[in-house]
Structure 1
Amino acid sequence: MGDPLNYLLELGFTLDEVETLKSRNDFTCQQMADAAKAIVDRGGNPLEAFGPRATGWEKPIPFDEIQTPDFPVEALPGPLGAFVECLAESTQTPEEMGGTLSLGVLATAFQRRYEVEVTRDWREPLCLYSSAVAPPGERKSAVISALNKPIYEYEAEVRAAEAAEIAQNQTERALLEKALEAAKNSAAKGKANFEEMRAEALELSARLAEFKDKHPFRLLADDTTPEKLVDIMDAQGGCITVSSAEGGVFDSMAGRYEKGANFDIYLKGHSGDPITVDRIGRKANHIKAPRLTMMLTIQPDVLNGVMNNSTFRGRGLCGRFLYAVCKSKVGHRAISPPPVPDRVRDEYRAFVRRILSDQGSGIIRLSPEADEVRKSYQAYIEKKLGNEWEFMRDWGGKLTGAVVRIAALMHAAECLGPPTDSPISAETMASATSLGEFFSGHAEAAYQLMGANESQADAKYILKRLSAVRLNRVTRSELTRLCRGKFGKAEDMTAALNILVERRYLQEVETDVGYNNRTQIAYFINPAIAGNDGNNGNDAA
C-alpha cells in the first residue's frame, strides 16, 4: 500500500477531507488507509463508506421546519389564478392562502345546484371545507375579504331586487296568522256560526302549513352557533358558506358539543346526508340535501386544538378539511408592493358574478379519460393509506372524493354553457390531482404540527438518543440496542430512519457484512447531531 496518505489521495480523497476525518474521528492516517483498503477489497467505495464527502454534510432540516409543496396556481380556472397570484403579491401573503380559499368561492357558486357522479353508486356534492393555517399578523382578513367582495356585492344586489317580494311574503304570513287566531277565537266562543268558523280555521291552518316563507338571499355566514347555522341553511334552501378569518367556528363546535348541541351539521353538511333537528317549542328543521362550505383562516394553536380534540378526530371532522399550512413572509415583506391591477380585479369580479348567476342544475359526469386519471390517482392513494399515510387515514380516505369535487368545480367554472352538457376532461382531472398532491403535502404538515405522525415521533426519539452519544456511524442493530425498549426489531425503525435521511440527519450507506455473513444497513451521522460542531441536535428533537 505504501504511504497511507498517498494511498488515500490516490483513492480520491482531498487533503482537507483527510484532515477533517482525522480530527473528527481520532483516526490516524494509517487507520484510515487500512479501513479504506478493507472496503476496496470487498468491492466497496471508501469515499461513500466514510460518509458524505467529509466537508459535504448539508445542514439538517429541523423538525419544526415543515416542508410543504407550493400551490399550483396554474391549475386554477379562468381569471381565478391571476387574481390569486396578484392578491398574494399585493398583500404580501403566500399564494397557498388565497389559492386554498379561492376553491371555496367556486364551491359557494355551485354547491346548491350540482353534484358529480363518479360511478352509478357514488356521487359527491360540490361543497368543500378549506382552511389556511397562519400565525397572527399574516393579513388573513385582507385575503379573505378580497376574495369574498364580489360575493357580498352579488348578495346585496339580489336582496335589493327581492326586498319587495319578501316584504309581501312576510305580510301575507302575518295576515294568515291573525286571521287564523280570529277564526279560532270565534269558533271557541260557541256562537251560532261555529261550524263556519271551525271550517275557516281549519282551512287557514292548512294554508299556513303549506306556506313557503321567503328569506333574504344569503351566500355567506360568519362564525355562528351550530343551532343558528342549521336555521340559516334551512332558510337558504339547505346551502351556505361559512367564511371567517378567525377560529371562532371551532370554539363554537367544541364548547357547544359538550353541552349537547347539534354537531351533525358539520358532518352531514359536508357529506350531503339529510339533517333533521327537532326542538321543543320551535319549528323543526328538515334539510333533505344540506350543502355546507367552509372558507377559514386559523392560527396554528387553533389547529392544534382541533386536531387534538378527540370528538373532532373520532367523528371524522379533521379528515374533511383541506389544509394549507402557510409559509410566513413576515420579516421579508415588501414595503410598497404593487396593488392588484384593475384589469385583473375586474376580470375576477366578472368571473365570480358569472358563476354565481348560473341557474342550471344537475349531475356532472367524468369522461372515460378523466375516470382513468381518477382510478390511477385513487390506486396511488390506496397504497399510501396502508403505509406512510397510516397516521392520517381519516384524511387520506376522503382525498379521492375531494379531488373529484375540485375537478367538477373547475369544470363548471370553465364551462360557458351548462356544465352538465359535457363531461370533465382528463386535463381538468389532472389539474385536480395536482391540487390533491398539494393538499396531501400540507395535510402531512398539519398532522405533524399536532403530533399525529407516529413515525415523526419515532424519528425524534432516535435523534434524541443519537445526540446523547458520540458516534459517527451506526448500524441498525446498534440502533436497536441504543433504543432498547422502544422498538421490537430493526425493521420497526424503517419509517423513522427514512425521515431522518430525508431531513439530512443520517445518510444510508452500503451494507456491511455482519454476524454470520448477514448484511445490514449502516448510517453515517451528520456531525451536527454527533456533537462535533457545537450543536447536538437537541433543538431539533
Structure 2
Amino acid sequence: MEAKKIKPVFDDLNNPATILKHVEGLKKTVEAEQKAKQNPFPVEAFPEPIQQIITATNESLKFPIDFIGTSMLYAVSVSIGNTHRAEIMRGYEQTAVLYLAIVGKPGTNKTHPLKWAIKPIEQRDNLKYQEYQRKMQEYETIAALTKKEREQQGYNEPIKPIWEQYLISDFTPEALVSVHSYNKRGLGVNVDELASWFKNFNRYNKGSEQEFWLSVWSGNTVKVNRKTSDQYNIPLPFISVAGTIQPGVLNELADNRTENGFLDRLLFVVPDNLKKEYWSETELSPSIVENWQTIISNLLDVSIIQDETNNPQPEILRFTPEAKQLLFEWQRELTDQSNKPENEAISGINAKIEMYAVRLALILQMVQYACNESNKQAVGMEAVQGALKLVEYFKKTAIKVHSIVSNASPLDKLPTDKQTLYIALPDTFTTNKGVQVAESMGMAERTFKRFISNKELFNNHTRGEYEKRY
C-alpha cells in the first residue's frame, strides 16, 4: 500500500518571512518527535562500580555508552556460564545466555568496547593455554614411553590434557561442539563481523546450523551423531554470542530468519545519533581497568558443580517475593500488550524479551555479587528493576531494527534537519524553489541538490522539477 504523503505546512515560497516562521515551527515539532523516539541506554541499571567504569571509558576512550554497557553484560554472561540459573517458577529456568548484535557504521568505535570488556577473560584463556601446553609436553613425553618404561619410571597411563577456555571466535560447527564438550562451564563466541556468522549458517550443512543456534539459545540438549565426526551429547549447552554489524547489512541478517523467531532472539544495540568522536586527552585511570578485572575474576573464580557423569549442575537462584511480584506484574502488562491485534508485529519481540528479563535479572544479581554489593542467594528487587530497564531499551532497539529490515519509510532514517526540510517542501517544486527553502534553513545549495537526488524520497519526472514520494 502506498504511503500517505505529508502535506507541506505552507505553499507560499515567495515570502521569506512566511518560510522562516513555519520552518521554526517545523523544527520544534520534528525535534520533539525525535526526542520522543530517543532510547538512552539505562546505565543506572548497573551497580555503582559498573556505572563508574562505563562513564570513565566513555570519557577517556570514547566508547559509546550503549556499546560498552552491553559489552560488559556479555562479558559477565560468559563469566557466569553454567554456574548459575534463575528460576522464576518451578520448571521455568533461564540461563545467562545472550545473543548480542552491536550495530554501528564504520568508525563509530563499535569493536573496541567489546574487546576491552572481554580482555580479562582472554587473559584467563591465555594463562590456561600456557598451562595446557605444559601439560601437553608432559603427556607427549610419557606417551612416547613404552608400557614397561612407564612402569619403571613410575608413570600411570597418561591422560591427554584439554585446553579449558572461555572464548572462541573462529570455528566450524563440529569444532565448536567438540570444544564445548570439554568446557562444560560454557563458551562465549565473539565475532568481529556478525554478518559472517549468519552467512556461514548454511556453509557446512544446509539448514542445520541455524537450528543449532536456536536450540542453544533455548538451552536444549545438543546431540551430534555424524559418521564423519565424534558423537556428542551436551545436556546443558551454554554459548553466548556477541558481534558487530553495520546498519547497511541488517537486511542480510533478516533474510529467512524472521518467521522462525531467530531475529527476535538477538538483542540489538543501536545508539541514537551515533557519530565518530574526536580522540580524548583524558587518560583512563589504571584503577578502572583493575576494578573491571577484579569483577570478572570474581565471577570466573566461582566454581562449577558437576554430577557423577561430569555434567554441570547449575546453582538455582530463585527470586525474592517482592522481586517476583514486580516481574509478574510486568509480564502481565507485556502479555496484554502482545494480545492486542494492532501489536501482532511485536508479539515475537515480546515473547523473547520476557525470557531476557529473567536472564538479565540473573546477570545483574551476579554482577552485584561480583562488585561485593550483594550476595548470590536469590535474585533481588534491585536486579529485577535494572533488568526491566534494560529490556525496555532492547525492546525499542528491536522495533527499530524490525522497521529497518521491513523496509520502513526512508524518512525515519533521516536526521532531524533533513526531516524538517522534507516536511517543509511542497508536494511538487522546482530546483530553484527548493533551494530557496533549503537556504532559509541553513542548508547549502550543493547539499540540497545531493539530498533531492535520493530516489527513495523524490521523483524527478521532468528536468528541474521534483515530487515528494511521502
The TM-score range, normalised by the shorter chain, is 0.7 to 0.9
* 1:79-478 pair list within 5 angstroms: 79-161=49-131, 163-165=133-135, 214-237=161-184, 239-256=186-203, 259-307=206-254, 309-310=255-256, 312-327=257-272, 329-330=274-275, 333-359=277-303, 361-387=314-340, 389-415=343-369, 422-451=377-406, 456=408
Among candidates 56, 80, 84, match of residue 25 of structure 2: 56
> Structure 2: how far apart are the matches of 1:418 and 1:258?
47
> Structure 2: how far apart are the matches of 1:527 and 1:301?
28
> Structure 2: how far apart are the matches of 1:22 and 1:152?
60
Cα displacement (A) at 1:139? 2.4
Cα displacement (A) at 1:64? 11
Letter in structure 2 aligned against 1:428: A
Indicate how the Cα distance of structure 1 residues 136 and 54 shifts in structure 2: closer, same or farther if over 3 A, else same.
closer
TM-score normalised over the length of structure 2? 0.73
8 Å CA contact retained: 1:61, 1:504: no
Cα displacement (A) at 1:314? 2.7
Letter in structure 2 aligned against 1:414: Q
Cα displacement (A) at 1:320? 0.8
Greater displacement, 63-72 / 279-288: 63-72
Letter in structure 1 aligned against 2:333: Y
Cα displacement (A) at 1:339? 3.0
> Structure 1: how far apart are the matches of 2:133 and 2:10?
85
Cα displacement (A) at 1:375? 1.1
Indicate how the Cα distance of structure 1 residues 280 and 427 shifts in structure 2: closer, same or farther if over 3 A, else same.
same
8 Å CA contact retained: 1:92, 1:337: no
Greater displacement, 242-251 / 411-420: 411-420
8 Å CA contact retained: 2:62, 2:280: no
Among candidates 65, 69, 74, match of residue 44 of structure 2: 74
Greater displacement, 415-424 / 128-137: 415-424
Letter in structure 2 aligned against 1:319: D
> Structure 2: how far apart are the matches of 1:61 and 1:243?
37
Cα displacement (A) at 1:329? 4.4
8 Å CA contact retained: 1:101, 1:296: no
> Structure 1: how far apart are the matches of 2:10 and 2:322?
60
Letter in structure 1 aligned against 2:400: A
SS at match of 1:107: helix
Greater displacement, 89-98 / 250-259: 250-259
Indicate how the Cα distance of structure 1 residues 300 and 23 shifts in structure 2: closer, same or farther if over 3 A, else same.
closer
Letter in structure 1 aligned against 2:347: R
Cα displacement (A) at 1:165? 4.4
> Structure 1: how far apart are the matches of 2:36 and 2:197?
24
SS at match of 1:339: coil
Letter in structure 2 aligned against 1:229: L
Cα displacement (A) at 1:540? 7.9
Indicate how the Cα distance of structure 1 residues 530 and 399 shifts in structure 2: closer, same or farther if over 3 A, else same.
same
Indicate how the Cα distance of structure 1 residues 504 and 146 shifts in structure 2: closer, same or farther if over 3 A, else same.
closer
> Structure 2: how far apart are the matches of 1:363 and 1:418?
20
8 Å CA contact retained: 2:64, 2:109: no
> Structure 1: how far apart are the matches of 2:387 and 2:373?
20
Cα displacement (A) at 1:242? 0.6
Q: Figure out how many residues of one structure are paired with residues of the other and give that number.
A: 399
Letter in structure 2 aligned against 1:139: N
Greater displacement, 342-351 / 319-328: 319-328
* Identical counterparts, % of pairs: 20
> Structure 2: how far apart are the matches of 1:212 and 1:396?
48
> Structure 1: how far apart are the matches of 2:336 and 2:141?
60
Indicate how the Cα distance of structure 1 residues 113 and 419 shifts in structure 2: closer, same or farther if over 3 A, else same.
farther
5+ unaligned residues in a row in structure 1: which ranges? 1-20, 26-51, 180-206, 464-502, 506-524
Indicate how the Cα distance of structure 1 residues 22 and 431 shifts in structure 2: closer, same or farther if over 3 A, else same.
closer
SS at match of 1:262: helix
SS at match of 2:280: coil
Per-residue CA deviations over 1:79-137 (Å, capped at 9, x if unaligned) read 32222222233333421111112111111011221111011021111111111101112
Letter in structure 2 aligned against 1:322: L
> Structure 2: how far apart are the matches of 1:62 and 1:301?
27
Cα displacement (A) at 1:249? 4.1
Q: Which runs of 4+ in 1 moved over 6 A?
A: 52-55, 61-66, 417-420
Cα displacement (A) at 1:142? 1.8
8 Å CA contact retained: 1:230, 1:265: no
Greater displacement, 225-234 / 53-62: 53-62
8 Å CA contact retained: 1:102, 1:147: yes
> Structure 1: how far apart are the matches of 2:177 and 2:359?
23
> Structure 2: how far apart are the matches of 1:136 and 1:415?
36
Which structure has more relative contact order (CA 8 Å, sep 6+)? It is 2
> Structure 1: how far apart are the matches of 2:272 and 2:174?
35
5+ unaligned residues in a row in structure 2: which ranges? 1-8, 14-20, 148-155, 305-313, 413-417, 438-451, 459-467
Map of 1:6 onto structure 2 = none
SS at match of 2:223: strand
> Structure 2: how far apart are the matches of 1:166 and 1:76?
41
SS at match of 2:97: coil
Indicate how the Cα distance of structure 1 residues 427 and 62 shifts in structure 2: closer, same or farther if over 3 A, else same.
closer
SS at match of 2:328: helix
Per-residue CA deviations over 1:439-483 (Å, capped at 9, x if unaligned) read 11111111111126xxx56x98xx9xxxxxxxxxxxxxxxxxxxx
Greater displacement, 100-109 / 359-368: 359-368
Indicate how the Cα distance of structure 1 residues 275 and 90 shifts in structure 2: closer, same or farther if over 3 A, else same.
same
> Structure 1: how far apart are the matches of 2:352 and 2:102?
18
Cα displacement (A) at 1:356? 1.2
> Structure 2: how far apart are the matches of 1:376 and 1:529?
48
CA RMSD of aligned residues (A): 4.0
Question: Which structure: larger Rg?
Answer: 1
Letter in structure 2 aligned against 1:140: K
Cα displacement (A) at 1:168? 5.1
Indicate how the Cα distance of structure 1 residues 132 and 54 shifts in structure 2: closer, same or farther if over 3 A, else same.
closer
